[in-house]
Amino acid sequence: MAQDAKYVTLTDANFQAEVLESDVPVLVDFWAVWCGPCRIIAPIIEELAVEFQGKAKIAKLDVDHNPQSAMSFGIRSIPTLLFFKNGQVVDQLIGTAPKRVLAERLENLASQPA
């Protein structure tokens, strides 16, 4: 992970520890380098990572390099955003969305008791 990046770079190897065993809600952005809409949403993901630091974890998974995790969650189109709480998928969004929508969903998850 780059020094200035606030989001977690996921791999098939660290998915379990970073997402499923996380004690805070996690937003996972399933993306790929060649995906146009993924590039559109990337700056929003990075802003959310800064804003939710300490309250929620923001993570990105490159589906081309980590097909196992993408397949296990049935990811068929990207970007797909999955919201995890206590190791379970509790919400999902396919395609791009305004930052406000993502922030509201994260806020709701972060404010709920575990």
Closest CA to 56 of 99, 15, 24, 92: 24
Catalytic residue among 35, 45, 59, 109: 35
Catalytic residue among 10, 19, 26, 38: 38
* Catalytic residue check, 38: yes
**73 touches 10 (CB < 8 A):** no
Which residues, 6+ apart, have CB-to-CB distance to 59 below 8 Å?
7, 8, 9, 10, 18, 19, 26, 27, 28, 29
Q: List active site positions.
A: 35, 38
